[in-house]
Structure 1
């Protein structure tokens, strides 16, 4: 039987594909745009016929009907990282989460520490050799493909066929569902004067020839917008988005000076516009790889001058970053922040930046605090922190004493809070 005959034999409706799911199964779904809408809609429609099914995913983008507190016994969500669709349920306590470094999720799946019975994923059309590309998010999904009993792909002609380790053969697939809907687009975040000021401080410290990891958010994108005049930048990141595309179009990214995989951009998921998805299609300058490759600190650090740019919500006077919760209330997740902070610290001449506005709630509270709000989930530790940047400047903390760190952070806090912070630091014996 040839590839096309296999394809025809395995094609079915989304509703029929749900029959392959058994009670008690865990369904692995890729990051963001890689989630298959037709399959997850069908799962939502049929959820009451199932029992004890779990959907595990990082960063869901659509709030499907299975996000339903009243049907938790049938199908429930388990978050590797909270997004807009899952955050309300996480904060209310009826959506659970799995704490983990993004880079280590495949290992958890491979070792059976987190279940993987079924994979639901968007995929490109099949090529002449019988392969589909999971270009939008190979992340932990490729590890799940190797482990799962059932693999169902939602084939959409708008999904790019990318190069790298992101391919699934027709022989591995249990069922295929076809769809043609446009891929979900995620625009660039809004950039205001605070983000722009932070971006300038960071950009001034990025040298020509650096390799970049850029997180999602207004501040990282504000940095990107101020790098267009740089030369021979490289990309080794978890997310490729429109900001990176802007740098390519400006000629700032060439990947020529990379010391690991020169000439190639490397990422594990795409999140952006239709223009980005078209750019990803059969582009020899881009490779999409599983997250245990892109985010492994030992691998990423093989890039000299690796620059990691990530955001946090709160930082204490020792440099501990609360990037994923508001006190005890979960907001996002660990993701790849620590992976790339550690990678940049290991990289020759690498620089890890943690960025944040100096205040929150309309300037009424300081984000630089004596101690983190009780219950805050610590993301980047005091031992890993390097550069911290607000709109008031840069504090370089790595190698500094507790007293030196405290003074440096107070100096980049909002002026309205510096006196109070100094008093609190004295009470903590940090001044």
Structure 2
């Protein structure tokens, strides 16, 4: 054991081994719970060693595949390497890896797309089957065996409890200052034994700083020193800034009307360049003393914490660029007083989101003229990433805001279509749609009223006449005037794109 080791428990030192030896303990056909959430806190060494072993066995004619459950997306070192050697049979609940995506869409990998708040309950209820092994990254093991969580909590508490055996990766590249940032709650239970979760504001702590694992479950410990995947974000472009400006103006109007306090309500933001542009706009605007109850802390929120615009943020993981990660590590003592990392069945808990009145801001692939949103499938059939936590927040948030550029593929695709090719968020859950052209407030509107708002304010001008033509002919068809559709044409835009390359 190295002198700078984070594995301080002497009773467990006999379980230290190489990544290859630990990977050899994972049998074919097993279900493995991996730590990790949006490229943070995932095991760095064991998946690669396991992929190498799988490739050797496959080349020798012995098929070796496992089921992989995580918190959310991980990184190429985990999803990518295992998928590349055809090592994954079933994957859940969210992924963003291009190799995984290819295999999901060609049918060689099964995939279950689940609301992130429900994964833990699914596992506890036995809906998903038995978990054999959990592979969990931690940033340290204390003398008494308590585990210091890493840069993501995700489903780690549940995986440790559910798995028959546990393998730990102790990563010394994670900041030692993470200790004390976490709030692990051990009070959850299945119905009918549930008790209220006593969080009334994002800053409330109800748990403890550490994860617990019975010593007899731990079959291997691997020491690593490797950073998380820190992908840079593109600077906000003109489209992102225009979308952000519409949202900021809307917030100011809501405050003036008296529907929100000047400190807004706790914010949630999906990951990406547009959400970061919104956060940048909030940081530069008149809003102060804000808070966040979200699932991911990205660059924009870190900047808001540093400036004081954001007073506190509750989350389950980081998703930071290299620059932002360096900022976090340099000033970890400052951020530890303002950031709480929880397990995802708390960070995404529907009842908490509803009670706190969260303002939810998420992206989409397409929306239709009545406000239904597709956030997962390309042309109805091809999985992109998954629903993630957007459904948790959209259905239960005080405001559910969906943002997107109005077109894709250099104008060949309209993000506003007559009917979405797949529904993740129904019109009943979508309150605000925003593109660079405008903001459609859909609250209190009938379907036909929503159609007028969405076409006029959100659709690209090049597609507005065709959308209005479809809507007017649907209204005149006599098929029904509540939600008018032409069934023979509802998905014709998607068919035309696949046939011609343009909607």
TM-score when normalising by structure 1? 0.89
Structure 1 counterpart of 2:146? 131
**Distance in 2 between the 1:202 and 1:284 partners?**
29
Count matched residues. Answer: 409
1:53-87 deviation per Cα after TM superposition (whole angstroms, max 9, x unaligned): 2222331321543213xx54x65451422313422
Alignment correspondent of 2:18: 13
Residue 81 of structure 2 corresponds to which residue in structure 1?
A: 65
Q: Which residue of 1 aligns with 2:49?
A: 42
- Contact between 1:77 and 1:96, CA under 8 Å: does it hold in 2? yes
Matched, 1:371 2:419: yes
- Indicate if the aligned counterparts of 1:66 and 1:76 stay in contact, CA closer than 8 A: no
Q: Which residue of 2 aligns with 1:330?
A: 383
**Residues 149 and 182 of structure 2 are in contact (CA less than 8 Å); yes or no, is this contact kept in structure 1?**
no
Instruction: Give the alignment of 1:8-407 within 5 angstroms.
Output: 8-29=13-34, 30-31=36-37, 32-47=39-54, 48=57, 51-57=64-70, 58-62=72-76, 64-68=80-84, 72=86, 75-76=88-89, 78-85=91-98, 86-115=100-129, 116-159=131-174, 160-161=178-179, 162-165=181-184, 167-169=210-212, 171=215, 173-206=218-251, 207-228=262-283, 229=285, 230-255=287-312, 265-272=313-320, 273=322, 274-275=325-326, 278=329, 283-304=336-357, 306-327=358-379, 328-344=381-397, 350-373=398-421, 376=422, 378-407=423-452
SS at match of 2:81: coil
Q: State the Cα deviation string for residues 225-276 of structure 1 (Å, max 9, x = none).
A: 1011320100110001221101111210114xxxxxxxxx211121114236
2: CA distance between counterparts of 1:396 and 1:16?
Answer: 57
Change over 3 Å in CA distance of 1:395–1:215 after alignment to 2: same
Question: How has the CA–CA distance of structure 1 residues 194 and 398 changed in structure 2, closer, same or farther, with 3 Å as cutoff?
Answer: same
Report deviation, 1:111: 1.3
Helix, strand or coil at the partner of 1:301: helix
1:219 positional shift: 1.0
1:169 deviates by 3.4
Secondary structure of the 2:388 match is coil
Check conservation: 1:213, 1:238, Cα contact below 8 A.
Answer: yes
270-279 or 192-201, which deviates more: 270-279
Q: Which is worse superposed, 357-366 or 130-139?
A: 130-139
Aligned to 1:124, the other structure's residue is in SS state strand
Give secondary structure in 2 for the equivalent of 1:415: coil
Q: Which one is further off, 404-413 or 358-367? A: 358-367
Q: Provide the rounded CA distance (Å) in 1 between the counterparts of 2:218 and 2:464.
A: 59
Larger radius of gyration: 2
Query: 1-side partners of 2:161 and 2:234: how far apart?
Result: 35
2:19–2:49 CA contact under 8 A, matched in 1? yes
Instruction: Sort the Cα spacing of 1:52 and 1:41 in 2 relative to 1 into closer, same or farther, 3 A.
Output: closer
Aligned CA-pair RMSD: 2.2
Quote the offset at 1:100 in angstroms: 1.2
Structure 2 residues without counterparts, runs of 5 or longer: 1-6, 185-208, 252-261, 476-482, 485-503
Do the aligned partners of 2:279 and 2:300 also contact (CA within 8 Å) in 1?
A: yes
Cα gap change, 1:50 to 1:11, in 2 (>3 Å): farther
Once the 2 structures are TM-superposed, how far is the Cα of residue 196 of structure 1 from its aligned partner?
0.8
Contact 2:315 2:341 in 1 (8 A): yes
Q: Is 2:41–2:228's contact at 8 Å kept on the other side of the alignment?
A: no
| Large movers: runs of 4+ above 4 Å | 279-282
Match of 1:416 in 2: 462
Q: What's the secondary structure of 1:352's corresponding residue?
A: strand
Cα distance in 2 between the residues matched to 1:364 and 1:129: 60
On the 8 A contact 2:93/2:115 being kept in 1, the answer is no
